[in-house]
Structure 1
Amino acid sequence: MTSETPVWLITATSNGFGKGIAELALARGHRVIATARNTAKIAGLKESGASTLALDVTWPLPQIKETVKEAQKIHGSIDILVNAAGYILEGAVEETSPEETLATFNTNVLGMLNVTRAVLPYMRAQRSGVMAIFGSLGSWTGGAGFANYAATKWSCSAIAESLRPELEGLGITATVIEPGYFRSNFLSSDAKVKSEVEIQDYTDTATGEVRRLLAQVGGNQPGDVKKGCEVIVDVLTGSGETGKKGIPPRLVLGSDCQETIREKCRATLALLDEWKDISYSTDYAKGQRVPERCPGTVFIILQ
């Protein structure tokens, strides 16, 4: 942190986690710059003491940079960036159009990247900052009817994981927040978009079942948004007992997300064990030159 009273810049604060984080940060006396495509929808945050700016993450990068420049001038710093903008595109791969897929990636991934690009010069200059990106339970598992959403959230988690070593030498910490199903309006508002085309053949398949489940789960999710926001604010500001644990590479929220990830890890390990001999059989024979290892898990491929 550059100051005892952190400055937050949060995208998509009109509802969900973005709004909840902004409200809690304000309640703790922090300085908040809340953004949304339509500032009329965040008038309540302004009344509570937030500075508000119009920001559509799908704007061209130069326009986003101008907005971030304006945000930087408000308090002279941006200590914590929360990239909360995102939505789910419901539909089988065949049903979703290229335009619908591109729009999803523009908001969930490319928009997040551009906001990150616009903020990083200021964090680099002050040699401090926290960069938080929202992933999801969908960062870990794909499924019928939400391949596009899962692809964007896998991307978000991969980008955050890559940013962490890129930025750690500059005093900036990157993390991805991966919530499970939380009782927000995510599944009952414009945060859920259905593909324009619906193919009858998919109705009685896993895709149709997912459609029916998504329609039923709204209002019955196990996660409490308020509790989730309390953990997020504690972790990102190093507050309370939770904050003492530091900022992890990924902040997993919700029992359902914990169980999903654990099951994915168990299934992946079992798959690796089953195919281990065949996987190893594709290496060069012992004694021949092999790729040199870089720090972490990256290999330099020698052609």
Structure 2
Amino acid sequence: MSQPQPISQTQESPVWFITACTSGFGKHIALEALSRGHKVIATSRDSSRLSDLAAAGAETMSLDVTWPLERIQKVAKEAIEKYGKVTHLVNSAGYLLEGAVEEISPEESLATFNTNVLGLLNVTRAFLPHLRTSTSPLKAIANFGSIASWRGGPGYGLYSGTKFAVSGISESLHYELAPFNISVCVFEPGYFRTGFLQGNARIKSEVRMGVYEESIVGRMRAALDETDGRQPGDVGKGACVVVDVLTRTGGREVPIRCVLGSDAVPVVRKKIEETEALLKEWEGVTTGTDHEDQESKIDV
């Protein structure tokens, strides 16, 4: 990526709407966009917690992504009226639900999908009528997956499930919205030094079973504790990449996926290699399942 430059007076100024701006990628993307002279509408469940972003020049609004769609649509309408448009939508709200699948209750499962997936869908739905009809050349939607979009693991199965869903939905949106000149990218970060492993960003299942505590699940829990505060990723640098990508700084088109972090790349590469090996191992068995008269193939 080239060095970011403040937007000139002859260029259209991007207008960002960003969820979950009290910390992490949401906050730092807002700060990065503001530093370039862009307009930013920053949100959190309680807008009073965004005083630092307001002081930096952002408009702030309260938004809980689990609100009903009709209420989110009212927020979207108010946001668009502030500057007459929104060009960039960033869905960064989400949290880690820690626990073995058996330990996690149906209520906990529903709550994490409600925030991490269904909330993202409703915020996107609320802004799509505006984005589809806008003539801005800058239109983009960013969703946040994870390296957990690529690989599940012990102790974070429900989190991984939500992030697999986010990446799959984002890829589908990429194709659905391309005819309307809306770019969609799912960012899939590794471990960044945010508050993601702390407080309300990391929710532990209410039930803890000794059989899992003494297994690989318990070791994963301990590893997360040890990793907190020692993550390799610099969220400020990551946010700079996100803004570069979404504003096409350097002349590149917005990609369908963007893996973030030096630790994330080997995880994805290993998954690709393992998947290729698995396909080759089972190809003789799994491909002999067509009807005898099958001629055409559906392009999926």
TM range (shorter): over 0.9
Q: Deviations over 1:8-47 (max 9, x none)?
A: 0000000000000001111111000000001111111111
Aligned-partner SS, 1:190: helix
Among residues 124, 129, 141, which one is paired with 2:132 in the alignment?
124
Match of 2:283 in 1: 276
Give the Cα–Cα distance (whole angstroms) in 1 for the partners of residues 146 and 287 of structure 2: 32
1:213 aligns with 2:218: no
Aligned twin of 1:182: 192
SS at match of 2:61: strand
Q: Is the 8 A contact 1:127 1:170 kept in 2?
A: no
Q: How much does 1:255 deviate? A: 1.4
- What is the CA-CA distance between 1:289 and the residue it aligns to? 2.7
From 255, 266, 289, the counterpart of 1:248: 255
Q: Distance in 2 between matches of 1:279 and 1:195?
A: 38
Give the partner amino acid of 1:188. Answer: Q
1:1-303 correspondence runs (5 A): 4-128=12-136, 129-239=139-249, 241=250, 244-285=251-292, 288-294=293-299, 298=300
Q: Distance in 2 between matches of 1:292 and 1:154?
A: 26
Instruction: Please give the per-residue CA displacement for 1:256-282, whole angstroms capped at 9, x wherever unaligned.
Output: 111100000000110111001001122
Name the CA distance, whole Å, in 1 between partners of 2:114 and 2:277. Answer: 35
Structure 2 Cα separation of the partners of residues 132 and 43 of structure 1: 24
Q: How far off its partner does 1:70 sit?
A: 0.3
1:166-206 residue CA offsets vs partner (Å, 9 max, x unmatched):
00001111110110000111002210000000001111211
Give a deviation string over 1:223-255, Cα, whole Å, max 9, x none.
11011011111111122x3xx222110011011
Name the TM-score, length of structure 1 as normaliser.
0.93
- Whole-Å separation in 1 of the counterparts to 2:295 and 2:62: 52
Amino acid across the alignment from 2:142: A
**Structure 1 gaps, min length 5:** 299-303
Q: In percent, how many aligned pairs have the same letter?
A: 51
- Is residue 13–residue 34 contact of structure 1 (8 Å, CA) maintained in 2? yes
Runs (4+) off by over 6 Å: none
Shift of 1:127: 4.0
Cα pair 1:36 1:55 within 8 Å, conserved: yes
Whole-angstrom distance in 2 between the partners of 1:249 and 1:27: 26
Structure 2 gap ranges (5+) = 1-10
Give the TM-score normalised by the residue count of structure 2: 0.94
Match of 1:301 in 2: none
Q: Distance in 2 between matches of 1:249 and 1:40?
A: 34
Q: Report the Cα distance in structure 2 between the residues aligned to 1:236 and 1:281, rounded to whole angstroms.
A: 43
Aligned pair count? 290
For 1:6 and 1:143, the matched residues in 2 are separated by 38
Query: Residue in 1 aligned with 2:4?
Result: none
Determine the C-alpha separation between the residues in 2 that align with 1:46 and 1:255: 32
Q: Which amino acid aligns with 2:298?
A: R
2:8 counterpart residue number: none
CA distance in 1, matches of 2:254, 2:55: 31
- Give the Cα separation in 2 of the matches to 1:233 and 1:280: 43
> For residues 95-141 of structure 1, what are the alpha-carbon distances to aligned partners after superposition, in whole Å with 9 as ceiling and x for unaligned?
00000010000000000000000000000111441011000011000
Q: Which amino acid aligns with 1:59?
A: W
- Counterparts of 2:259 and 2:297 in 1: how far apart (Å)? 33
**What SS is found at the alignment partner of 1:52?**
strand
